Amino acid sequence: MNQNLAFADYAVFIIYFIVVSAYGYSVYSKRKKDEHDAKAYFLAEGNLTWWAIGASLIASNISAEQFIGMSGEGFFLGIAVAAYEWLAAVALIIVAVWFIPVYLKNKIYTMPQFLKTRYNESTALIMAVFWLFLYVFVNLTSILYLGAVAINGLAGGEYLHVIMVGLAVFALFISLGGMKVVAYTDVIQVAVLIIGGLVTSYIALTTVGQYFGVGENAIAGFKVLMREAPEHFKMIIPKPTATSSQLEIDKYLTFPGLMSYVAGIWIINLNYWGCNQYITQRALGADLQTARTGILFAGMLKLLMPLIVMLPGIAAFVLYKNGHLPQLVGGKDGAYSAVLTFLPTGLKGLSVAALTAAIVASLAGKVNSISTIYTLDIHKKYIQKEAGEKQQVNIGRIAVFAAMLLAVLFTWNDILGIGGVGGFTYIQKYTGFISPGVFAMFFLGMFWKRTTGTAAIVGVILGFVLSVLFNEYAPALFGNETLLYTAYPNGKGAFEIPFHICMGLSFFFTMLAMIGISFAGPKVNPKAFEIDSEMFKVKPQTTVLIVITLLIIVALYVKFW
């Protein structure tokens, strides 16, 4: 089947590009009077509506690693990977009710600022540098690489570097206008990615129905998937036994069943949604009710995401298993691109636009956060303390350009090996190295007044060291079966502990160390935040949104447990 795009596909894509660019420019023109206002540029302070916050959260979150990586995990694991999305909705409820009030009451605008205010300058500086490296060399590079590879496959396979540069330039065009331009263009981006993603899922299901003789019917196609791959519709991956195949062990290593729910997936989600500049920045410039509603709106949108980013992967698995997907190349990460080849002319262009929207929105949001941390938490404090508003904005724009240039350089020949380990796993695993320490530091800093600055520094360093220990060295040092974990053969001549379990163990021991160190300090740390019960009260309409979200999640788990 010819994967090349036709004229109608290019026309649809060009229309999308023009609409987003024109809307972005109109937003920029309206705020030109605030062009050199640093808070307006970095935070769009007081200018974002709840729907803009919610849409921007999703547009920034859903990117190539979801479309390509999560679709690939759908191909490999099935619906179990949907836990990342559905439990993210629960995490967003927790963030909206308990985390955001703490940030807003204490006028927190960046995550390093939180650490400086609550702990000390050393902790803030260490984490600012840590986050900059993580955002540039894990998140930004993987988004750019996976996105370029996917679109290149649809365009004929000969334009990887042209597409890579094009995505980077498009994201730069949006991000140089500041957070308000990023957030409001994200409203269009998220509409395009949802519509285009739903179209792709619909075509995938009707194609399955057609090949299996039940007609071009999406519901009938979904029933075929459940019949042909029943193991792909179980939320809990069973624990391997002595008779398990390597494939079954590999699935458990990726998502270790019930143990994922004990700690690992919660640490991933709460750290990502609640302690991440890239995400929280959208809500930090709003009032509490607007921020809460926007975050909960994002949580409801997250419930849709498996339908868009995971279902095509399961469809690809069933088609491939039965010999109907010869165009699948590149293993599981090629699943989404292979499914897109079934789309008719014009709709293929819409799906490419959806994929591009997800990639560009995430790139723009990521470099904006990189720019914010660098400008406000490093440059202004340590390099140019007297920098005025205009200088800060200009420095922020230079940081945007520099971050994107580094991402292009490191993805040009995939220096970091992103394509070798699978995009979604690459991001989750390497982000997971710092998540336990960071989340422990934030959680105790918010809700336990005794936590000290010394404990915070020990926590973030210990969390990283323990993550590396459990992920890379524990089986060789302590054996494959201990009271704490079981390591399994990874098919490469070594044994591994599932990385969700590694995160849980790292978090547990980091918390113990931080609590023990803090007991040596005063009962109430002088830098502890003031917290009162009124901060956490929610309005009736907020309660309704929370209840609806939780009921949908319960129903999904009852159906697919």
Residue type (1 letter), 407: A
Same domain, 406 and 494: no
Residue 51 burial by Cβ neighbours in a 10 Å radius (0-12, 13-18, 19+): middle
Residue 39 burial by Cβ neighbours in a 10 Å radius (0-12, 13-18, 19+): middle
Q: How many CA atoms lie within 13 A of 188 on its CB side?
A: 20
Q: How far is CA 480 from CA 251, 264, 305, 345, 488, in A?
A: 18, 20, 36, 53, 7
Which pLDDT belongs to residue 2? 42
Task: Please name which of 411, 388, 19 lies closest in space to residue 191, comparing C-alpha atoms.
Answer: 19
Number of separate domains in the chain: 2
Q: Are 445 and 456 in contact (CB under 8 A)?
A: yes
441: CB partners within 8 A, 6+ apart: 115, 119, 123, 456, 459, 460, 463, 514
* Positions of E strands within 385-491: 488-489
Same domain, 393 and 513: no
Torsion angle of C-alpha atoms 89, 93, 94, 98, degrees rounded to 10: 160
Last residue of a domain, one of 424, 449, 481: 424
Residue 46 burial by Cβ neighbours in a 10 Å radius (0-12, 13-18, 19+): exposed
Cα–Cα distance between 294 and 54 in angstroms, integer? 4
Is 540 within a domain? no
Is 138 within a domain? yes
- For residue 511, the SS3 value is helix
Is 476 within a domain? yes
Structure tokens at 478: 């302590």
- Spacing of C-alpha 83 from chain mean position: 13
Same domain, 257 and 353: yes
Which pLDDT belongs to residue 514? 97
Q: How far is CA 91 from CA 84, 269, 518, in A?
A: 10, 6, 27
Sign of CA dihedral 103, 106, 108, 114: negative
Same domain, 207 and 313: yes
- For residue 323, the SS3 value is coil
Q: Are 256 and 346 in contact (CB under 8 A)?
A: no
Same domain, 239 and 100: yes
Same domain, 71 and 213: yes
Cα–Cα distance between 302 and 61 in angstroms, integer? 10
Is 545 within a domain? no
DSSP state of 327: T
Same domain, 174 and 65: yes
Q: Are 41 and 394 in contact (CB under 8 A)?
A: no
Is 537 within a domain? no
Residue 542 has φ and ψ, to the nearest 5°, of -70, -40
Same domain, 168 and 201: yes
Same domain, 442 and 474: yes
Same domain, 311 and 257: yes
Cα–Cα distance between 301 and 351 in angstroms, integer? 19
Cα–Cα distance between 2 and 13 in angstroms, integer? 18
Which pLDDT belongs to residue 66? 75
Last residue of a domain, one of 424, 457, 491: 424
Which pLDDT belongs to residue 40? 64
Task: Please name which of 502, 441, 439, 438 lies closest in space to residue 468, comparing C-alpha atoms.
Answer: 502
- pLDDT tens digit at each of 561 positions of the chain: 345 677 888 888 888 888 888 877 787 777 655 555 666 666 655 567 898 888 888 877 877 667 777 888 899 999 999 999 999 999 999 999 999 999 988 888 888 889 999 999 888 888 889 889 888 888 888 888 878 877 887 777 778 889 899 999 888 887 877 767 777 777 787 888 888 889 889 999 999 999 998 888 899 999 999 999 999 999 999 999 889 999 999 999 989 989 999 878 899 899 989 988 777 777 877 889 999 999 999 999 999 999 888 999 999 999 999 988 887 766 777 788 888 888 888 787 887 888 788 788 788 888 888 888 899 889 988 888 888 888 888 898 899 899 999 999 988 887 766 665 555 566 666 777 888 999 999 999 999 999 999 999 999 899 999 999 999 999 999 999 999 999 999 888 899 999 899 999 999 999 999 999 999 989 988 998 888 888 899 999 999 999 999 999 999 999 998
290: CB partners within 8 A, 6+ apart: 48, 49, 50, 53
Q: What is the DSSP string of 257-288?
A: HHHIIIIIHHHHHHHHHHS-HHHHTTTTTS-H
Q: Are 507 and 436 in contact (CB under 8 A)?
A: yes
Cα–Cα distance between 143 and 137 in angstroms, integer? 10
Is 132 within a domain? yes
Is 543 within a domain? no
Q: What's the pTM?
A: 0.87
Count of beta carbons in the 10 Å neighbourhood of residue 217 = 15
Cα–Cα distance between 419 and 425 in angstroms, integer? 10
Q: Are 397 and 181 in contact (CB under 8 A)?
A: no
Same domain, 206 and 292: yes
- Spacing of C-alpha 406 from chain mean position: 20
Last residue of a domain, one of 424, 459, 493: 424
Q: Give the range of the structural domain holding residue 514, as residue numbers without chain letter.
A: 433-530
Q: Are 184 and 23 in contact (CB under 8 A)?
A: yes
Same domain, 372 and 354: yes
Structure tokens at 113: 């600022």
Is 535 within a domain? no
For residue 292, what is the domain's CATH number? 1.20.1730.10
